[in-house]
Amino acid sequence: MTAQFTLARRLQAGEIVHTGWCPLPYPVVAETLGREGFPAVTLDQQHGMWDMGATVTGIAAIRQAGAAPIVRIPFGAFAVASRVLDLGAEGVIAPMINTVEDARALVEVAKYPPIGERSWGPARAMTLAGMTDPKEYLRDANALTVAIAMIETQTALDNLDAIAATEGIDVLFVGPSDLSIALTDGKEVEPHSALVERELDRVIAAAKKANKVPGLYCANADRAVFAAKRGFRFLAVGSDLTFLRMGAAAQLKILKS
């Protein structure tokens, strides 16, 4: 089973994992990012356009491409975490994890007892992993599915060590745009501001102390390379919509020259 769940295995081995990011609700796009070499691809249900039907197909398409499917669930929709894990996602990103109670709410639905209380029903996940023994899935699932808590507010920073110490949370993932809005009391959105940069080291330190993985959303590959050198190991890079716009702009520039 371990070979079929590459996200957890890579993170546990200390690797840097880059994930493509998909707000566009097209499984073939998500599959393409995996086939081009992203080891993981994230379907964004929070701010993207993925409904559950498209998510079902998208998860399978990403696995078919040889990548690890991840789903960012909508804000507060913790029940969706269990559902997408049952459908074959290897990781779940939950936005706005501000307190220990929020962290526990994620763990409750993302991990089986004794860590959480995830309900049983992983038939599709087992099928995609080529598994037939439910005992095998139950035995290994907590270690091989990844619970990712987004750190995006001042409240989250105030509770950072406690969130990081929560059993079952695997990754602390910074959402820099929302964090910049929070740190300026709603005055600006600037994910690379000095205020945000100052807090990134705190997240890395808290993750290291709790033996968790620090993560960061990055606007582009240059930012991801910089963040990896700084100590982040789970890195979202751009988005499918950004790649489409950049590719179109580059071609149009040639045509107009």
* Residue corresponding to tokens 């050198």: 229
For residue 84, the one-letter residue type is V
* CB contact set of 126 (below 8 Å; sequence gap of 6+): 132, 134, 137
Q: What would the two tokens of residue 163 be?
A: 């969130």
Which of the following is catalytic: 36, 37, 47, 201? 47
For residue 78, the one-letter residue type is F
Mutual angle of helices 27-36 and 52-64, in 10-degree steps: 20
* CA–CA separation, 216 and 200 (whole Å): 9
Say how many residues make up the chain.
257
* CA–CA separation, 214 and 34 (whole Å): 22
Q: What would the two tokens of residue 102 be?
A: 């929020």
192 belongs to the catalytic site: no
* CA–CA separation, 226 and 129 (whole Å): 34
Please confirm whether the linkage preceding 114 is cis (ω < 30° from 0): yes
Which residues are identified as catalytic? 47
